[in-house]
């Protein structure tokens, strides 16, 4: 759900966004409070896998390497390499140990030159973190 809007402000007496009627009503002044709650940008990190029909609420930040389960409703920010699922989505588990996640976040392979990525597809499409570290060190 894009646009940065959480939706109609349901803390008001009416949840209907009356300001949209201003142009239709004589005497209705442009002074009504904004009835849409702003949640800011939705941000999706690098190498994030979003399962089919997942729903991501406005303003949510999903960090690098995360996985969103099919048909999940994401209402909270997701950390790096975390797998979330359900409605409302909960943390299922992390993809790797905290130590490995820390290394992956330092390596940031997605910022490599495309030639380097192509040369190392076999390593990226494996669980060989040690080999990945060796490549980074080269």
Q: How far is the CB of 37 from ligand COA (least distance, A)?
A: 27
| C-alpha–C-alpha distance, residues 28 and 36, integer Å | 18
**Catalytic site includes residue 8:** yes
Q: Which of 6, 8, 120, 133 is catalytic?
A: 8
In terms of CB distance, is 2 or 52 closer to ligand COA? 52
Burial class (CB in 10 A: 0-12, 13-18, 19+), 78: buried
The residue whose two tokens read 């669980």 is 127
Q: Which of 85, 101, 104, 132 binds ligand COA (CB under 6 A)?
A: 85
Q: How far is the CB of 87 from ligand COA (least distance, A)?
A: 8
Q: Which of 83, 101, 104, 132 binds ligand COA (CB under 6 A)?
A: 83
| 78 near ligand COA, judged by CB under 6 A | no
Q: What is the pattern of x (binds ligand COA, CB under 6 A) and - over residues 13-52?
A: --------------------------------------xx
Strand spans (E) along the chain: 5-8, 36-38, 43-44, 49-50, 55-56, 61-62, 67-68, 73-74, 82-86, 89-94
Count of residues touching ligand COA (by CB under 6 A): 11
SS3 content of the chain, % helix, strand, coil (to 5): 30, 20, 50
Q: Which residues contact 118 (CB under 8 A, 6 or more apart)?
A: none
Catalytic residue numbers read 8
**Residues that bind ligand COA in the complex, under the rule CB under 6 A:** 51-52, 67, 69-72, 83, 85-86, 92
């Amino acid at each position: 759900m894009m646009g940065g809007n959480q939706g109609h402000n349901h803390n008001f007496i009416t949840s209907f966004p009356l300001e949209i009627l201003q142009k239709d009503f004589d005497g209705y002044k442009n002074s009504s409070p904004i009835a849409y709650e702003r949640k800011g940008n939705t941000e999706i990190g690098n190498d994030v896998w979003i399962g089919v029909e997942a729903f991501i609420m406005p303003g949510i930040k999903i960090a690098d390497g995360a996985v969103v389960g099919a048909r999940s409703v994401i209402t909270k920010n997701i950390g790096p390499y975390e797998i979330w699922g359900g409605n409302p989505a909960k943390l299922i588990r992390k993809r790797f140990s905290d130590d490995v996640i820390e290394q992956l976040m330092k390596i940031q392979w997605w910022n490599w030159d495309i030639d380097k990525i192509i040369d190392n597809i076999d390593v990226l499409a494996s669980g060989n973190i040690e080999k990945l570290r060796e490549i980074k060190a080269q």
